[in-house]
Amino acid sequence: MKQGTTIITLDNGYHLWTNTQGKGTIHLLALHGGPGGNHEYWEDTADQLKKQGLDVQVHMYDQLGSLYSDQPDYDNPAIAEKYLTYDYFLDEVEEVRQKLGLDNFYLIGQSWGGALVQMYAHKYGDHLKGAIISSMVDEIDEYVANINRLREETLPKEAVDFMLECEEKNDYANPKYQEYVQIMNENFIDRKQPSKLYHLKDLGGTKVYNTFQGDNEFVIKGKLDQWHFRDKLKDITTPTLLTFGEHESMPIKTAHTMNRLLPNSRLVTTPNGGHHHMIDNAEVYYKHLADFIKDVEAGTFQNEEE
């Protein structure tokens, strides 16, 4: 398969930026988070897996509205209603799979991408050899409870009260509020500082992020408050890896629940890792991923829990 960048045209006429790295007969399609994030933390995935003795072709792409892909006019209500939906982004994964010519492949998704992996494995699981859910729960209410608990444990009471007041007034741009958000980011999202994911300038994806998430990782004001997938996990039979950082925003307790409910899953955690633990502790993250793929390839994968 062609290495490097390929621009694909979707059936709806929009264009997506895709990129393939690595060689070999094993294929891994990587989904970014946000929504409205981008592919960047997957850029060295093929190299990291190579270090673990595994040759993998890694295919990544920016979802519609993100970074290098087309950014529709979401201010148009008709466009927003059509494309800012769970169903659109799920079926976009399937269309990308088809246009890249993938089948019997591995699908990895980070955060929001992990929600897409759950939905894809449920609806299109026949195409999958393995699924990797990276830092994403199946029940958003448990995330909200956890992140509020972490905020109360991390920040002084007056800081938490100030943030709640800003959120009540939608005063998210308040500099002091953003300082507190950054403290939380450095504790639970990007623990390895300075993060290579920080951009000098916002390059797109904000509209998508705001619609689904809200202003930041610590408030759910958008469509993600509808994320309740627990009753469907029992139907996902694809070998599944659940990978979480040991110091991240997602509740590890929920990860254990998911591991019990998924019929064919393994749960691993990454020391010193936050929400982006593939960057915070790449060596451990990619060893877990490589071990999972090797076991599935060898037919020796078994349910496990750390």
Starting at the earlier edge strand, list the strands of the sheet with 240-245: 4-9, 15-21, 56-61, 26-31, 105-110, 128-134, 240-245, 265-270, 304-305
pLDDT digits (tens, 9 = 90+) for 91-103: 999 999 999 999 9
Contact criterion met (CB below 8 Å) for 180 and 187: no
Residue 227 neighbours by CB under 8 Å, 6+ apart:
115, 138, 139, 140
pLDDT at 61 over 60: yes
How far is the C-alpha of 145 from the C-alpha of 51, rounded, in Å?
38
161-191, pLDDT tens digit by residue?
999 999 999 999 999 999 999 999 999 999 9
- Quick one: 264 exposed, middle or buried, by C-beta within 10 A (0-12, 13-18, 19+)? middle
Residue with the larger pLDDT of the pair 201 and 22: 22
- Interhelix angle 86-100/112-124, rounded to 10 degrees, is 70
CA gap 201, 12 in Å, rounded: 29
- The token pair at 94 is 């399937």
Asked if 128 and 107 touch (Cβ cutoff 8 Å), the reply is: yes
Q: Is the pLDDT of residue 202 over 80?
A: no
Tens digits of residue pLDDT in 121-134: 999 999 999 999 99
305 has a pLDDT exceeding 70: no
Q: Which residue in the block uniquely carries the two structure tokens 């960047």?
A: 40
Closest C-alpha among 208, 57, 34 to residue 111: 34
